[in-house]
Structure 1
Amino acid sequence: MRIASRSSNNRRRGVAAMEFAVCLPVLVTLVFGSFQACDMLFLKHAVTTAAYEGTLAAAKSNATTESVCNAARQVLTAMNVHEATVSTLPLGVDVANVPPGEMLTVVVNAPVGPNLFGPVIFVPSTQAETRGVTIR
């Protein structure tokens, strides 16, 4: 009987090792994929909030392109977003010169690579972009 119980224990250990070998890559992929998904959601939220703050600054009567871009950059700096760009549309037109009733767009772009933890594996896009629109 002793030989049968040893064989049974060895089989159980073998099955456990096999289950571990099959499940470990799936669990690691889920963990790191969720990290990158959370980082991407945070980056998208930061870019959206920056565009929103830029449009709020653009809606003021004494707004300039510099004040709009600075308002958006303050949010990006506070949320630790690197290498982001802020611009206004129409390009080349100062916000102060946009006539009342015209549409103004604040565009915020941030590259995904420098703003995510670890290598970019699970994220399909390379840029996070948001546009905020306001009427002057």
Structure 2
Amino acid sequence: MSFHCKLRRTQRSKRHGTTLVEFAFVFPIIILFFLFTFEIGRVLMLQHTADTAAYEAARSAMVPGATANDAITIATELVQSADLKQVNVEVIPADITEDTGLITVRVDVPIAGNSWVTPQIFFPNATVSSEVTLMCERSPLIRLTALPALKAKKTQMNNNSGL
């Protein structure tokens, strides 16, 4: 029996550092996996915030009497509530009038300035963008002519009404 116990101890001592070596190989891979998971989550949050800001800004600019500055203010407040930095908000057209048919709001968020863990490794120089185009709430004729297929009909109606 004593021989059997010695043999068992000898086998254990041969594999004494195996666990440490395996841990040394696997641990960095696991850490990179978790960092990448956090970064993907953050990028998805940036995308959702940009989508929401662009939509809410376009909704605020589509009502009669609204200005492009109103839309920029709404979008900026939304992205600041999420603590995002270096955000670019663009409203097209810059001057919203009663004849404006469509309003487009674009929100660009750079990932590098708004990342938690390692933006330079996973997403260097990447930008999350969201663009929303909505029809303005104007008179029915202006709303109809905002549709691209109906542009020719507006011209035809204007020519016929002048005769």
| Alignment TM-score, normalising by the size of structure 2 | 0.73
Provide the secondary structure at the position in 2 that maps to 1:63: coil
Pairwise CA RMSD of aligned residues?
1.8
Unaligned runs of 5+ in 1: none
Shift of 1:3: 4.2
Tell whether the 8 Å contact from 1:54 to 1:69 is kept in structure 2 after alignment: yes
Shift of 1:33: 0.5
The list of structure 1 runs, each at least 4 consecutive aligned residues, that deviate by more than 3 angstroms after superposition, is none
**Distance between the aligned counterparts of 1:70 and 1:21, measured in 2?**
51
* Corresponding residue for residue 79 of structure 1: 82
**Distance between the aligned counterparts of 1:52 and 1:107, measured in 2?**
9
* Corresponding residue for residue 11 of structure 1: 14
Deviations 1:59-93 (A, max 9, x none): 11111011010011110011111110111123xx3
Deviates more, 1:62-71 or 1:7-16: 7-16
Picking from 38, 45, 49, the partner of 2:48 is 45
Tell whether the 8 Å contact from 2:35 to 2:118 is kept in structure 1 after alignment: no
Tell whether the 8 Å contact from 2:54 to 2:130 is kept in structure 1 after alignment: yes
1 or 2 for the larger relative contact order (CA 8 Å, sep ≥6)? Answer: 1
What is the number of residues matched between the two proteins? 132
Residue identity over aligned pairs, in percent, reads 23
* Corresponding residue for residue 114 of structure 2: 115
**Distance between the aligned counterparts of 1:114 and 1:6, measured in 2?**
56
**Distance between the aligned counterparts of 1:8 and 1:123, measured in 2?**
47
- Quick check: 1:131 aligned with 2:131? yes
Q: In the alignment, residue 110 of structure 1 is paired with which amino acid?
A: V
Q: In the alignment, residue 134 of structure 2 is paired with which amino acid?
A: T
Unaligned runs of 5+ in 2: 137-163
